[in-house]
Structures are given as structure tokens and as C-alpha cells.
Amino acid sequence: MDMTILNVALPDLAAHLRPTAGQQLWIVDVYSLVLAGLLVPMSALADRWGRRLMLLAGFAVFGGASLLVLLADTPAAVIAVRALLGAGGAMIMPTTLSMIRTLFPDPRERATALGVWAATSSLGMAVGPILGGLLLQHFSWHAAFLVNVPLMIAAIIAGLLLLPEARDPSPGRWDALATLQAITGMLALVWSIKHFAKAGPGDPLGWAALAAALTILTWFVLRCLRRPDPLLDVRLFTRRPFTAGVLAALASMFAMASLLLLVAQWLQLVLGASPFMAGVYLTPMALGAVVASPLAPWLAARIGARTTLAGGLAVAGTGFLLLYLAPSPPAHPVVLLSLLMLGIGAGALAIASAIIMSGTPQTKAGNAAAIEETAYDLGNVLGVAVVGSIAGVVYRAHLDVTDLTGPTPADLAAARESLGAALEVAERAQSTDLATRAGTAFTEALVQTGLIGAIVMFTAAAVVFALVPRDLDLATQQH
């Protein structure tokens, strides 16, 4: 919820604090950067200190950082708050999965619990824009942060009353160098992906950061392979079902993040929907996920985990393909059906999590959870970066402004950069023709990226189907 609610609050925040373009990017990006860098170290610490302790501490950090926004009256202060939220998220996200591994020793019960977990996660992504739109109709941008506080208080109380402590009884010696490698490598990787999305694939700084990230992460993997007590047990990837589960998690988040990004912009900037109504239109994705995720383990018990997992990804791919094949511009029912199919496809997340957790010994539950959550974060970042970049290329290719009169050449150049910039130029120059052409070009970009999404999801479904054994039983447990 917190990852999507800021998108709605950002215009109001920018109007009040007047951040520079660079500061606004950092307000958005620093959360993912810190989250990605700290997922593995925080999960390893949870295995040593106690997963319950880490989860409760994460709730406290997340709620406390949200409360600190009342003191944030500069862009730099908001960036600091978002960084703290990223740290709290890194403490919470993998620990929820490893706690489920502990709380539900029966694999079938665990699969159901992970279905509820996946449904709740998908619901949060869709609820964010709706809640953000409602709050911003009555309160300032601060409400987008403060809404976390009562949720975290309730989580702390429930955690104290309900959760047992769990930790790795023999975690081994802490590896400070591997910790530094994991943080810097993931920071550089996520930053490079985001930088490519903004500066284009030809930017040398992005390639330098990517090369540094791959070098550091390769060094990290080799160090983990050589040590008897690694910070992250990368040997988990030697199990093909585990690898398939991680790939499915990454692909599912790629799909949801990319389509949410484009459809939310299309609804608000092309169709003129309010932030609240845009959020309402996005609810079919959440509804599909809420229904499909808890049912996925039941379906897997009847037709097999492999078919259910690959089938979920294929359903999501079909949702993308529907968007591409429908007459342009797509009608509301087509877009809503595409979102619904993506939500149903998110049921694959529940099976992916069940495969990952059921095939992992309890002592390595934190490692498995960190890997899965890293896949979620990378899927989210890649979805926004890759599909957003492709949409930008298609938008510019279809926006013909050569015969427009009124806007200056500099304004027309700005209009080609993004739909938001084009609408701003059109309003300033009183050019309804530019606004119409920009909306048409963005609609075409949305339709064309449906083909890209379909190719990605169908490819992921085929690879997952090949990796998972036909007779894989989610009730089989590693100890």
C-alpha cells in the first residue's frame, strides 16, 4: 500500500515543498533503493536475533518514520523519511514470509496461509491509490504517510500477543564483508535500472553502475559459495523448483507494477479521472488476486503445482495480450478485464511462495524469504523501468507535432518527453490539438506495451513449466 499511495500524493507534496526534479526523483526512488540493499542483511539478522523481534522492530521503525513526516518541512527531510521507511520495509517484508514458514509446519496449511499473504499484498497495491485519493480530498499530503501509523500500532500489538519467537539455532559467524557486498551491489543494481528508465539505454553512467553492481554481486555469490556459514545460502538455487518459484514471483510483480503504472496514468491524464476514481477502476486487479490467491493451493492439489503456477502466469499474459489485440483505443471493459486477469494471474504468487518455502529447511527460511522478497522488489523496479521506457519510446514515435502552431519548439520538445509535460504545455499554449494528440499517442503506447507484457509472461510461464517437476507435491516438506 505504501509503495502505491505516494504516487497519488506526489503532486500535492510537490506543490507544497517545491522539490527540484532531482529531489522529487529521490523522494520516489530512495524507498526501493534502501529496501533492496537491506533485504538480505536484515533477513540474516532476523535469523540470528529472532524473527519475531525483527518483525516487531520493523513495525516500530515503519510507524515511527511515518510519524516523523509531521516534522518534515523540506524535500531533504521527506527523502530521509522515505529512506527510513525503506529500512523498516526491509525488516518487515522477508520476516513475514519466514514467520509463516515457522507458524505453519503443515505444508498444506502453509500453502493456504501464503495464499492469504499474496492476496493481501496484491490488495494493498490496489488499495493505495483509492485510499490516497480519499485522504487527499480532505487532508494534506502528510496523510499518505500518517495512514501507516495506526496500522503499525495494531501490528505491534497483534505481534506481541500472537507470534512466537523463532531463530536459526546455529547461524554461524556474521560476515561483515558479505553484508557490505550485498548492500552496495543491490543498491547499484536497482539504481542502474531506474537510471536507465530515466536517461535511456545509451547513458554511460547507467552502464557503469550496472557493471559495478554485477561485479560486486558476483563477488558476493562466490564468497557465499566458499563459506560454510554464508550470509545468504545461494545453493538454494540448485533446486529447480526453488528457481522456478523465484522467477514466477519476479514475473508476477513485473506484470502488476508495469500495468498499474500505465493504466493509472491513462485513467487520470487521458480520460480525466480523479485519483480516487482511478483507484476504483484499478480494483479488478485486487479482486482477482483476493479470489485467486487463496484458491490457488486448492487448485494445485487437484491439477498439480506446476500447471497452477505456469497457468497463473499464462492468465496474466493473456490479460496483456487482450489489451494489445482489442480495438484501439481500448474500451473501459477491455482494460478492466485485463486488470482482472492480471489479478487472477497473481494467484501464481501463492504457489510460488509455497514452492519456495516448502522446499526450504526451516533454518534457511530467512534466506529463502530474502531471495523471494528481492525478486518482488526487482520485479517491481523492472516492470516500471522496462515497460515505462518502452511506453516512452512508443509515445514519442506516435506523437506527431510537426504541423502544430502555437507552442514554441522548446515546448514541443518538452511535450515529446512525457504525457504530463505535453498536457502542461497544451494548457499553457491553449492547444487542445496537442493535448488530444498526446493522449492518443499515450493510448497507443499502452496498447503496444500489452504485447511486450504478454511476451514476458508467456516466456516466464514456459520456463517455469519446464523447471517444475510434474509430480511436485506442496505437501512434501524439507527439514
Report the CATH number at residue 287: 1.20.1250.20
Q: Are residues 138 and 184 in the same domain?
A: no
pLDDT for 184 equals 92
Same domain, 373 and 383: yes
In a domain, 420, yes or no: no
Burial of 470 per CB tally in 10 Å (0-12, 13-18, 19+) = exposed
pLDDT tens column, 67-116: 998 888 898 999 999 999 999 999 998 899 888 888 888 888 888 888 88
146 and 196 housed in the same domain: no
> pLDDT value at position 479?
46
State residue 222's pLDDT score: 93
Q: Which of 364, 378, 381, 385 lies closest to 452 in space, CA to CA?
A: 385
Give the pLDDT confidence of 5-14 residue by residue, as tens digits: 777 777 778 7
Asked if residue 93 belongs to a domain, the reply is: yes
| Residue 388 to residue 394: CA distance in whole angstroms | 10
Average pLDDT over residues 195-206: 81
Are 114 and 223 in a shared domain?
A: no
Whether residue 418 lies inside any domain: the answer is no
pLDDT value of position 475: 67
Retrieve residue 333's grid coordinates. Answer: 471493459
145/189 same-domain check: no
Q: What is the pLDDT of residue 363?
A: 73
- Among the candidates 207, 230, 253, a domain finishes at 230
Task: Give CA–CA dist 412/208, Å, rounded.
Answer: 32
Q: Is 475 domain-assigned?
A: no
Same domain, 58 and 197: no
Same domain, 362 and 250: yes
H-helix segments, 18-175: 21-49, 51-67, 75-103, 107-136, 143-146, 148-162
| Residue 106, in any domain of the structure | yes
Please, what's the b/e burial string for 56-83 (b: 16 or more CB within 10 A of its CB; e: otherwise)? bbbbbbbbbbbebbeebeebeebbebbb
Q: Do 208 and 260 sit in the same domain of this protein?
A: no
Share of the chain above pLDDT 90, in %: 22
| pLDDT tops 80 at residue 362 | no
Residue 430 included in any domain:
no
Q: What rounded mean pLDDT belongs to the chain? A: 85
Distances (CA, A) of 167 to 49, 94, 95, 210, 228: 7, 14, 11, 34, 18
Domain that holds residue 212: 176-230
- Which of 230, 248, 263 marks a domain boundary? 230
For residue 431, tell me if it sits in a domain.
no
Examine residue 403 and state whether it is found in any structural domain, yes or no: no
Q: Tell whether 324 and 199 lie within a shared domain.
A: no
- Do 184 and 130 have their domain in common? no
Q: Are residues 136 and 218 in the same domain?
A: no
Instruction: Note whether 199 and 282 are same-domain residues.
Output: no
The number of distinct structural domains making up the chain is: 2
pLDDT digits over 34-44, tens only? 888 898 889 88
